[in-house]
């Protein structure tokens, strides 16, 4: 794995697909081992699924305990069998967070997590999501993500599985106008990657320093993870304009 620089924050996004990859076991331990090798500071995971009964651990709790002190679980489906959704886990405190319902009518429920994280370098905003399968659904969800981004002063990443493979009117064409730094890896299916479903988008673009992909993840999921190193910039101070003081010489008595 590539060493981290102290001048960057490492972020990983991965659709773990219930941890069903080339190995039919519910391999949460393998997922944790691979993530730890990359040592990300922030990790976004999609398709976390506690409904599978082949493993005694609740994956939401297991992953939180194994990977970070701070985290958010966004459960989009809850049944008597368990929960299904995504997680955002951070090494550092999450100072503000929101879970947005971005579901489209008559489609599978979808969520987006918006979090502001207090890193040692500068605050960062992360939006983690898993978009829908239909083109109209994704276009609607992309517009929602753009509204969630907030002011430009803070380094912002939008990460996840965008299910975006059709170029005309694509999520990429919408998001890349506002987040000009983005990854371009083929991540699905993991054994023979053809489609660029998983991405990281970054604003400002120059904050995205390096990116990587890990092909060994094919044993755990049908998606490959993306890892990026980001150099967040401190927000510019807000300046207030004051009326200048002008000294007037007093006229001497005549």
The per-residue pLDDT for range 118-133, each reduced to its tens digit, is: 999 999 999 999 999 9
Given CA atoms 148, 102, 187, 62 in this order, what sign does their dihedral have? Answer: positive
Superfamily classification of domain 9-230:
Endonuclease/exonuclease/phosphatase (3.60.10.10)
What pLDDT, in 10s, does the model give residues 150-174? 888 999 999 999 999 876 668 999 9
How many C-beta atoms surround the C-beta of residue 96 within 10 A?
A: 11
Taking the C-alpha atoms of residue 153 and residue 238, their distance in angstroms, rounded to an integer, is: 10
What would the DSSP string read from start to end of 13-67?
EEE-GGG-SSS-S--HHHHHHHHHHH--SEEEEEEEE----SSSS-HHHHHHHHH
User: Is the model's pLDDT at 245 over the cut of 70?
Assistant: no
The predicted structure's pLDDT at residue 157: 98
List all residues 6 or more positions away from 37 whose beta carbon is below 8 Å from its beta carbon: 1
Strand locations in the chain, DSSP E?
9-15, 42-49, 70-79, 82-90, 94-101, 111-118, 123-130, 155-161, 181-182, 198-203, 208-213, 226-230
pLDDT score of 92: 97
Say if residues 71 and 88 touch (Cβ distance below 8 Å). yes
**Residue 194: pLDDT over 70:** yes
Lowest mean pLDDT segment, chosen from 53-67, 76-90, 105-119, 121-135 = 53-67
**189 upstream amide cis, omega within 30 of 0:** yes
pLDDT band at 225 (very low <50, low <70, confident <90, very high): very high
Residues 6+ apart with CB under 8 A from 161: 13, 15, 46, 47, 129, 130, 131, 197, 198, 223
Q: Among 156, 164, 229, which residue's Cα sits nearest to residue 198?
A: 164
Closest C-alpha among 225, 243, 239 to residue 42: 225
Q: For residue 238, what pLDDT is reported? A: 56
Name the pLDDT band for 248 (thresholds 50, 70, 90): very low
């Amino acid at each position: 794995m590539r060493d981290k620089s102290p001048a960057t924050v490492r972020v990983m996004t991965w659709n773990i697909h219930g941890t069903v990859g080339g190995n039919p076991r519910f391999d949460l331990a393998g997922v944790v081992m691979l993530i730890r090798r990359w040592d990300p500071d922030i990790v976004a995971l999609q398709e976390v699924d506690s409904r599978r009964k082949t493993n005694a651990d609740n994956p939401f709790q297991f992953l939180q305990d194994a990977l970070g002190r701070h985290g958010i679980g966004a459960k989009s489906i809850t049944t008597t069998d368990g929960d299904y959704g995504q997680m955002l886990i951070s090494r550092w405190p999450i100072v503000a967070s929101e879970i947005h319902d971005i579901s489209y009518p008559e489609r599978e429920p979808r969520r987006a997590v918006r979090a502001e994280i207090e890193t040692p370098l500068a605050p960062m905003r992360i939006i983690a999501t898993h978009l829908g399968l239909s083109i109209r659904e994704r276009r609607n969800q992309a517009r929602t993500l753009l509204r969630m981004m907030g002011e430009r002063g803070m380094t912002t990443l939008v990460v996840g599985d965008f299910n975006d493979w059709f170029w005309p009117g694509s999520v990429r064409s919408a998001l890349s106008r506002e987040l000009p730094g983005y990854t371009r890896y083929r991540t699905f299916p993991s054994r023979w990657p053809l489609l660029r479903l998983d991405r990281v988008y970054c604003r400002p673009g120059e904050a995205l320093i390096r990116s990587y992909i890990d092909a060994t993840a094919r044993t755990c999921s049908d998606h490959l993870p993306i890892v990026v190193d980001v150099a967040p910039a401190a927000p510019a101070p807000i300046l207030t304009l004051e009326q200048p003081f002008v000294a007037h010489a007093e006229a001497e008595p005549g």
